[in-house]
Amino acid sequence: MQELVRLGAPEFVLQYTVRDGAGARIKRVDVAWPVQRTILELDGVAYHDLTAARDEDERVRARMRALGWRVVVARRADLGGGLLPGLVRDLRREDA
């Protein structure tokens, strides 16, 4: 998360619980910007490469997207590229 701070990301919440319209818990996500309704999920290979885990991840992410959340998924290889700077740029634009 230090990289998000270094890039100047707007204030974020770690381990944020996403809820549906009735208040039921959908999932606790890695990083969230609730005002911008944006989520950053950091997928590790050991768990998220399993077929059952991938299927469940996509089902839950589709549900969050249906509720208006933008879901960004990053793997270790993505962290050194342009994914985080692009995300921060978008969030700062929305925050302005």
pLDDT: which is higher, 96 or 74: 74
Note whether residue 61 is domain-resident. yes
Query: Which 3 state secondary structure label does DSSP give 71?
Result: strand
Decide: pTM greater than 0.75: yes
Q: By percentage, how much of the chain surpasses pLDDT 90?
A: 68
How many independent structural domains does the chain possess? 1
- Residue 96 clears pLDDT 90, i.e. is over it: no
Output the six-digit token pair for 58.
Answer: 């996509």
pLDDT band of 21, cuts 50, 70, 90: very high
Domain membership flag for residue 41: yes
Predicted confidence at residue 55, as pLDDT, reads 84
Q: What domain range includes position 21?
A: 2-88
Cβ proximity of 66 and 34 under 8 Å: no
